[in-house]
Amino acid sequence: MDEPKIYLFGTGQIHGADGALIQIRARKQLALLAYLLLEAHQPQSREAVMALLWPEFDTNTARNNLRVTLSAVRSLLATADSANLIESSRFEIRLNPDVAYWLDVAKFDALLRRTRQHHHGAREHCPHCYALLQEAAALYQSDFLAGFALDNCPDFEEWLVMQRERLRVSAIETYQCLAVFAENDHDLPMARTFIHQQLELDPLRESAYRQQMRVLAKLGERSAALATFERCRTLLRQELGIDPDPETLALHLQLLNAQQIGPESAHNGALAAEITVPATPRHNLPQQLTSFVGRQQELELLDAHLRIRTNRLLTIVGPGGIGKSRLAQQAAARHLSRFVDGVYLISLAQVSTVESMPAAIADTLGLSFTAGPQSANKQLIEMIGDKQLLLVLDNFEHLMDGVDLLLELLRQTTHLVLLVTTRERLNMQAEDLFELRGLAVPTNINAAAKSAAVRLFADRASRINKEFVLTDAQLPYVVRICQLVEGFPLAIELAATWLRDLDCQEIVAELSMGLNHLHTSLRDVNPQHSSLGAVFDSSWRLLSPLEQRVLADLTVFRGGFNLDAARAVTSASSLLLSGLRNKSLLRRGHSRRYDMHMLIQQFAAAYLANDPPLAAQARQDHSRYFMELLAAKALALDTDEAGAAADIIQPEWENITAAWRHAVEHREFGLLDAALDGLVRFGDLRGLFQEVETLMKFAAIPLSQITACIQPESSPAETDPTTRQEQVLYCRLITALAYFAGRKGEDSTLELAQHAFVLASRLDSKIDIIANRVTQAAAFELAADFAKARALAEEALAIAEQEELDLQIGLCLDGLGIIALHSGDYSRARNLFLQVRAIHEKTGRLEQRGREAIGRLGIVATEQGRYDLALQYTRRYLESCRRMHDRRNTPHAQHHLAFAWLKLGDFKRVVELETQSLAQSIHMGDHEQQSFSLHNKAHAHRQLGQLESALDCAKKAVALARTIDAPLCLAFALAQLAEVQVELAQTDAAWAEAAANFGEAAIIARSIGKLTVAYEVEIGLAALALRRQHYAAALAQIVPLLPNLPTKAADGWDEPIRAYVVCTRVLRGAHDPAAEIILHQGLQLLEYLAGNIADEKLRQSFLHAVPAHDELHTLRHAQNMAA
């Protein structure tokens, strides 16, 4: 042995060159070494390492700790004959590439990488890869740094969990591959072993159960195979609430019918082109309806560079129409199996601003932004996270200011790859550049028929005209066509369409006549574009005057259009659009929408610009149509039809943006006023806060000067009607901006709302006065100033009732209900939310608030201890969210339902629901909900006795709550972490850590006015003291709490009965006769809460499945025995 060996699979060990085990004495030493080893691809700044391992210390202390730990690690390595492995400077730390060492994780990754790079046909029969995978599997002795954790180091914990999960997934997939290999080689006992190893790591891996069923059947153990299916079905139903996949059911049916079981196919198995192959690759690449001709050399080169893992930004550069998009899509299609989270085409042609880029990417990926202070860029980065994605960003050239977003995406994600098509290079060091020119044009007539340009023309021509044959007589003219257009693929395809009316010689004549005219008369273009202009010019002259006018008018659309919009704006018939499509001037995409190639749009727009009156009319008609669309859908967006209405608006977003801007620029304030409600409601429903804010601010600029005309002493009647309309619109815009600021929790909320309130008061606009008072109330409620919030909401309610405005009354009642809920007045909150529901049912309006009221009624019922009622409400809320495709609120609904089940003692169901909520919250980037789900999941794991899982969830919840600065989340998470630590504590230090977490949670809860939360935390401190037999401390802790224990309802206590259990035990330990009084009160409360549960099964679960409830009965039994 000539080099040290470092093992990080398992607990973490270092063996010297002589094989001797070297003792690692401190956890931070192992953490530092592991981090440097796995991040060896780049130097690490000292500041970053200090923040990772000593975040709670000041800079000087952290710097000293790093220096000491680094010295200790070097000493360890010196013992292992690798003293120079770690190099450091004043600013950085890195591994010395010249010092040899062996690392199990690096070897594991390298072996898997070699199997991916090995070229062969059927991987199922590759003995070379089988040997490599066996070697890799032998290295994976346990999880990465199994059982290792660092308290108070959230960033390190996040890194550790990410690496652990990455390696665990790789190990599972390795075992799956090995099982398929062994099965195909008829080594069924070995296959069985590999399947067992998969299921040890992932007990819910359905594909492994299928493998096991198949192998057992081949071994003649049909009964065992059937039992495996039953075990799989039971687990999936119990843990996930789902049935097995159709593939599993089909295999089960084969077993039942005693049919012969064949090997798993490469399509269904783990071993196709890559080790990690998703069952159904996710992508949105369009199905190509024409053959890919030429560019083979470019395709192979691009494909090779995409396979280099360090190449994460590849750019295809060339002029418009050169074939960048088709080449990118063709290359991307080759990598569907590699990118397990998907390959997506993001069309940026109609994205007008850099600010709209995150929304365009998120919309394509099926992601939605949430309300909050985080920017759209930050949310997008976090939602992508470590997903293995290939994004094809098509037509980037007009968004060069967005290069910074691309850099941030690459820097803050791990597996994202960007393939960009653009006319202009990005000028970045990270850019892997591919420059495209025209297809090769033949100069020698003898080799012309084999050239890519000629083959492309011939292919497209034969599709247009079935009689076309590339004869020796035609060939010179085809070559000339390709030369005239300089091999531009789009130009060649357009020229081929003329074969409907012209022969090749006539096409040459048309192109020859049009070149100089287009270059000199139509527009000043780059010389390389002149030939493509000739193509379009000739195509234009072949159109009828009506077709020309319609095609020019259609250029005002952004992001495509449907038939209704085309008819409204251009008076085009479906027959005419079909004719333009047949001439390759329009395309028909998904959802019956049309669009046109960007170059065609540019040329046609130039013709439109030559007729200013026609252009002005087309833009006016376009703006009016989409403003009226928003206005027409405004009502539906506030009813149960909101989801369907939003689905209609969503694909028109770019058109709506252009239409809104045109209306602002041309002072069409009536259109803007009518469209505003629809704009706000759509943005609120789909989370487009930043985009809608930008549009409203754009409209507010020209209107802001008009407010100067409003005199405080003037009455509304004295104001000119036209001016008043503009003033009211400005007021409504500021009101909406204040509302959006409140939704995101921004500091500007109160200032904006007060400004809008003053404007509304001067205009005597009651609806806006009410809306701004409610927005102000919500801001004060978030700051826990409930008295101020209540006063403002009640002021708004009085105005709404006086004016008999039902919708505004509902708005005010909803705000008051939230204030009552969060201030602990549950009875009032329930009544208020019921009134909101009544108004929703009476008017059919207030869809979102009416639906959210159902969820809040579930929360109220839970806090009051009416748990069966809570189940009813929260189930309804979850169903409504799913019905409306409300991705933002679905995880909240799942969490509320889990909370109700937690009270009823179905802890496995809680884990299942919170797992679903957590997954969707991560997908949505909703950090606050993630923290709530994690702490609730920790609670359920603790009640099930799964303390390690509980500890992991609680630590993550604390780290997340600290990151997002959410005090209530942090109080709950710290308390739950302390409860788990109490269960696990065996040393004075562990007890002290738990007590410190309890103490911090209590301070936070009291600081934000959550006294009930503080009381429960202090009960936890008493339980800790009791467990340590510190009876005096426990008694001192509970005495102030006794008057505050709940007596007639849960009153917002999470575990009210547990409080009585702890207090009874403490008082009995102190021989205080009050113990029996407290016990009696607790039993009465338990009986009352159980009596509220009508369902007998649920009642029994409540009484006996919750440990504290059972324990209270034990205390009563002990009392009876003593008597």
712 pLDDT higher than 80: no
Q: Residue 666 has what pLDDT? A: 95
Q: Residue 265 has what pLDDT? A: 42
Which has the higher per-residue pLDDT, 887 or 211? 211
Q: Residue 159 has what pLDDT? A: 84
Which residue type occupies 684? D
Q: Residue 808 has what pLDDT? A: 94
What's the CA gap between 573 and 397, in Å, rounded?
34
Residue 747 main-chain phi, psi, to 5 deg: -65, -20
Mean pLDDT of 483-507: 80
529 pLDDT higher than 50: no
On whether the pTM is more than 0.75, the answer is no
1017 pLDDT higher than 90: yes
What's the CA gap between 1020 and 480, in Å, rounded?
87
Mean pLDDT of 710-734: 71
Q: Residue 280 has what pLDDT? A: 40
815 pLDDT higher than 50: yes
Percent of the chain exceeding pLDDT 90 equals: 41
Q: Residue 100 has what pLDDT? A: 82
CATH level 2 (architecture), domain 916-1122: Alpha Horseshoe (1.25)
Of the given ranges (272-276, 715-719, 888-892), which has the lowest mean pLDDT? 272-276
Which has the higher per-residue pLDDT, 1119 or 63? 63
- Top CATH class, 545-610: mainly alpha
Q: Residue 534 has what pLDDT? A: 57
Name the packing angle between helices 786-803 and 766-782 (round to 10°).
160
Chain-centre distance of CA 641, in angstroms? 25
Where does 296-435 sit in CATH, by number?
A: 3.40.50.300
Q: With cut-offs at 50, 70 and 90, classify the pLDDT of residue 514.
A: very low
Q: Residue 818 has what pLDDT? A: 92
Strands 44-45, 92-95: pairing kind? antiparallel
Could you write out the DSSP letters of every residue in 37-92? HHTTTS-EEHHHHHHHH-TTS-HHHHHHHHHHHHHHHHHHHHHTT-TTSEEE-SSE
Q: Residue 700 has what pLDDT? A: 93
268 pLDDT higher than 70: no
Handedness of CA 371, 373, 375, 379 (dihedral sign): negative
Q: Residue 814 has what pLDDT? A: 94
Q: Residue 747 has what pLDDT? A: 77
Of the given ranges (535-539, 666-670, 732-736, 1041-1045), which has the lowest mean pLDDT? 535-539
354 pLDDT higher than 70: yes
What's the CA gap between 36 and 92, in Å, rounded?
11
Q: Residue 878 has what pLDDT? A: 93
Each residue's pLDDT tens digit, 686-708 = 878 889 999 999 999 988 876 65
User: Which H or E run contains 587?
Assistant: strand 587-588
Contact in structure between 485 and 531 (CB atoms under 8 Å): yes
Tokens representing residue 877 in the block: 């809320």
Q: Where in the chain is the domain with CATH 1.25.40.10?
A: 106-256, 916-1122
Q: Where in the chain is the domain with CATH 3.40.50.300?
A: 296-435
Of 345-349, 443-447, 723-727, highest mean pLDDT? 345-349
Which residue type occupies 501? D
**Mean predicted lDDT score pLDDT of the chain:** 85
Each residue's pLDDT tens digit, 1097-1109 = 999 999 999 999 9
Q: Residue 513 has what pLDDT? A: 66
What's the CA gap between 1060 and 749, in Å, rounded?
43
Q: Give every CB contact of residue 30 below 8 A, 6+ residues apart in sequence.
A: 12, 24, 145, 148
Q: Residue 266 has what pLDDT? A: 34
Q: Give every CB contact of residue 459 below 8 A, 6+ residues apart in sequence.
A: 290, 291, 293
Place of tokens 């890869």: 129
Where does 106-256 sit in CATH, by number?
A: 1.25.40.10
Q: With cut-offs at 50, 70 and 90, classify the pLDDT of residue 467.
A: confident
473 pLDDT higher than 50: yes
Q: Give every CB contact of residue 807 below 8 A, 6+ residues apart in sequence.
A: 839, 843, 845, 846
274 pLDDT higher than 70: no
Q: With cut-offs at 50, 70 and 90, classify the pLDDT of residue 590.
A: low
Each residue's pLDDT tens digit, 147-186 = 888 888 878 887 888 788 888 888 988 898 888 888 887 8
Place of tokens 């979850």: 878
Q: What topology does CATH give the domain 5-17+24-100?
A: Arc Repressor Mutant, subunit A (1.10.10)
Q: Give every CB contact of residue 411 below 8 A, 6+ residues apart in sequence.
A: none
Residue 709 is classified by DSSP as G
Mean pLDDT of 129-146: 89
Nearest CA-CA partner of 462 in 581, 577, 290, 322: 290
Q: Residue 533 has what pLDDT? A: 64
What's the CA gap between 770 and 763, in Å, rounded?
13
